[in-house]
Amino acid sequence: MGYGTGVVRIRQACAAAACALAFFAPTASAWAEAPLMGAGVDEIPGIEGISGSLAVGSADVTEAIGNPAASGESAAMPLHATRAGGTFYASMDGAVWQSEAHRMLAMVNNERARLGVPALQWDYELEQSAMQRAAETFIMFSHDRPDGSSCFTAFPSGLSMYGENIAMASFGNADNAYNMWYNSPGHYANMTHTGFTKVGIACFRGPDGVYWVQCLGAGGSSNTTASLYDGAASFAVPLPDSIITASYTSASALTPGVGALRVLPTVTFAFNGVVGNRRINGSATYGNEMFSWRTDDERIAGVGEHIGSRCCIGVAPGRTTLHAEFPSSSRLNKDVPVIVTREGAFIDVDANTPHRDAVLFMSSLGVTAGYADGSFKPYVDVARADMAAFLRRFAIASGVEGADSWQPSQADWNRFSDVHQDTPHAQDILWLAHAGISTGFDDATFRPFASVTRCDMAAFLRRFGKVAGIESALSWTPSAGDYAAFPDVAATTPHRDDILWLAHCGVSTGFPDGTFAPYAIVKRCDMAAFLKRVSELPA
């Protein structure tokens, strides 16, 4: 995720998180205009690195009061409204109608020609700003943005003049929106102002109507390309941090060994409150790249990068605290304990622990960080949610394409009735389903807290092998002799062929008595052994 120059760009919804919406549909139209302003923008994060859902509740949309732009007026005014706190960004899905928005340019220029005023050029950057602002006016119909800052913080840098027109109607196309502005003196003054040389126009389509924005400007760079895009789009919406209600990190603690790495965690938070005249609620997960990270004691652990991932690096045995600091809101800051051990060991993993080397190997890959107290709990049952986390982290460590960047859509969130934003490892569970590693049960549940049986583990691992491109996982079929491998694995045993594949590859040879025990529960130390052996299979 990078930082832009004042414009929050949009991406198609297939690459961003989903939005669940419930609305009140007003019948009246509303519009407002803003004065021309001096230059200056904030840098605000784009949507990369943010996932989650944002729900907008019902509310009346009333007319906003604006200041008409008189001919020749230009003022150097502050770009920020007064705010009680900081800003965070949540991902919101919607739809834009840009082919229709572009059609309005001819209407505006016909009127300017009638007045003898030079035509406006379409501007790509201003169009991006207009799309962002159109989505924001759906949440808060105002020239202030939802976080309380001025609308002009969404404009590109380098402009010598700014102007914004906004409109909302329960229905209508470019002709309707243009006529509303044409018949309003302030809006008309902006559209025909001699100082403006370029414009970007956008239409956001919501269930309660259409939201129109014109972003006008002069000066700066010029790109006359029009997107002409009609369809789903995702926006990073700035919101006041006062509505954040809870937050947590994806790892409660990091336990690197001396010289070992742990990938920095993500931060998830929930929010619920009133913004403008609508109730907003939802959650968002921020990638670690959106924070500044530091440790209290760099003699024990530091922060760096390894193969493109931001990591905590163990320096010497001991304990310290890792601090995540968000640039625009201290309410998103989080502290994570760091416990550095010799050899990357856990406090309950020693020479007598079964599969100790496998546990340490998985720890070194970042597949498991253990518990906040520095333990691994090798004899604890593996829950299905934890299995999902292990497999996705293992996929990332193995270089499986898209495992690190995939984000669930609203359809993905609807897949399982018992997997929600607050379910442990929810996104990892949905990635398993997306990758075809686990499709859940016939009743549309995943059962994240159920324990993993050995036969289910076999199915998970073989499907993972197929996703990872392991040749034997893709092509192997059992022979007559393979079917005799275990006396307790019969034709009616769930995932029989996957169990036999494990035996064929040496991932699991069963127990000393010759059985596989397909219905026994997988322990955490055993899971580490299985994953390590899979990692050694040829592609």
Full DSSP string of 249-318: ES-S-B-PBTT-EEEPPPEEEEEEEEETTEEEEEEEEE-GGGSEEEES-TTTEEEEEETTEEEEEE-SSE
Answer with the residue of higher pLDDT: 107 or 276.
107
Of the candidates 297, 301, 299, 269, which has an alpha carbon nearest to the alpha carbon of residue 282? 269
Burial of 137 (0-12, 13-18, 19+ CB in 10 A): buried
Residues 260 and 128 in one domain: no
Does position 82 have pLDDT exceeding 90, yes or no? Answer: no
Residues 294 and 370 in one domain: yes
Answer with the residue of higher pLDDT: 347 or 230.
230
Residue 8 lies in a domain: no
Phi then psi dihedrals of residue 130, to 5 deg = -65, -40
Does position 389 have pLDDT exceeding 50, yes or no? Answer: yes
Residues 294 and 221 in one domain: no
| 28-54 pLDDT per residue, tens | 233 343 333 322 222 222 234 444 445
Answer with the residue of higher pLDDT: 85 or 79.
85
Does position 76 have pLDDT exceeding 50, yes or no? Answer: no
CATH of the domain at 155: 3.40.33.10
Task: Please state the domain count of the chain.
Answer: 2
Residues 233 and 355 in one domain: no
Residue 90 lies in a domain: yes
Residues 1 and 37 sit within 8 Å (Cβ to Cβ) = no
Report pLDDT for 348: 86
Q: Average of pLDDT values for 126-130?
A: 95
Alpha-carbon dihedral sign for residues 458, 460, 462, 465: negative
pTM: 0.55
| 320-330 pLDDT per residue, tens | 999 999 988 88
| 131-185 pLDDT per residue, tens | 999 999 988 888 889 988 888 999 998 888 889 999 988 777 999 999 999 999 8
Residues 237 and 322 in one domain: no
Domain with 184, as residue range(s), is 13-69+81-243
CA–CA separation, 367 vs 381, rounded Å?
17
Does position 498 have pLDDT exceeding 90, yes or no? Answer: yes
Report pLDDT for 365: 79
| 265-309 pLDDT per residue, tens | 998 888 888 887 778 888 888 888 889 999 999 999 999 988 778
Residues 254 and 213 in one domain: no
